[in-house]
Structure 1
Amino acid sequence: MNSQAKITSPDGNQLSERFHEGLKTRREVLGEAYVDSSIAKATDFNWPVQELVTEYCWDAIWNRPGLDRRTRSFLNLGMISALNRPHELKLHVRGAINNGLSKEEIREVLLQVAIYCGVPASIDGFRLAQEVFDDMGV
């Protein structure tokens, strides 16, 4: 999908400016291919969560002043590790790289996860991060 293409909801309704701003941020952090695939696969059933996440997570929060994207990526890696959400952790490791975090910085986050969230969470995080690094060639 072309990142400039106008997206409409499954019911054909126009989407808010907040959605379009969030979509831009979401693509920049997670990558166009992943985001466009998620949008393309959306159904009438799950479209509302796509809209919610895009408007509020990716615009209302990620585009707020006060924290830059690198800092938000640091926070997300720790929180998502603590919540044991492997799919989301892989996405956000990719996003962290896209936001300028180094492998060494990601390693330090995952070491801290071992102390505050448990060794199993850290080991899973290291394994998943390595998969992303291998996939991205970093």
Structure 2
Amino acid sequence: MDVVDNLLKNSDDFSMPVQELLAEFCWGAAWGRPELDRRSRSSLNLEMIAALNGSEELANYMRIAIEIGLTKEEIRECFLQVAVYVGMPAALSIFKVALQVFDEASN
């Protein structure tokens, strides 16, 4: 996956161990399981990261979701689900990040 390759390529001596752990555990062991497809896993990740209000990571995972093939409308629906269960202040932040990522992607 391009995103994982870029994370590893852009890591320095300090951050490489955590990036390798992320690649092995998250992208390998978890994402490699056959019971859920990548689109489902991506949707879940967007919702969980949005619920945790991790805006920088949310932007990264949005890029991954777009690369995997989630549509703008599907991503919006994930975030509307978060708005209902987490709250409107989080939703406003989430949608702000989403607009920035979509703007980036269209340029």
TM-score, normalised to structure 1, is 0.71
- What displacement does 1:117 show? 0.9
4+ residue runs over 6 A deviation = none
Give the aligned partner of residue 93 of structure 2: 124
Cα distance in 2, alignment partners of residues 120 and 80 from structure 1 = 15
Deviations 1:101-126 (A, max 9, x none): 11111111111111111111111111
Q: Which runs of 5+ in 2 are unaligned?
A: none
AA at the equivalent of 1:48: P
Determine which structure has more spread, i.e. the larger CA radius of gyration.
1
Give the aligned partner of residue 100 of structure 1: 69
TM-score, normalised to structure 2, is 0.89
Cα distance in 1, alignment partners of residues 61 and 69 from structure 2 = 12
Q: Which runs of 5+ in 1 are unaligned?
A: 1-24
Q: Note the aligned Cα RMSD (angstroms).
A: 1.7
How many residues end up aligned between the 2 structures?
Answer: 107
Deviations 1:2-38 (A, max 9, x none): xxxxxxxxxxxxxxxxxxxxxxx3x2xx3x7xx42x3
Structure 2 residue 89 is matched with structure 1 residue 89: no
Cα distance in 2, alignment partners of residues 40 and 98 from structure 1 = 18
From the two aligned structures, give the one with the greater helix fraction.
2
- What displacement does 1:57 show? 0.5
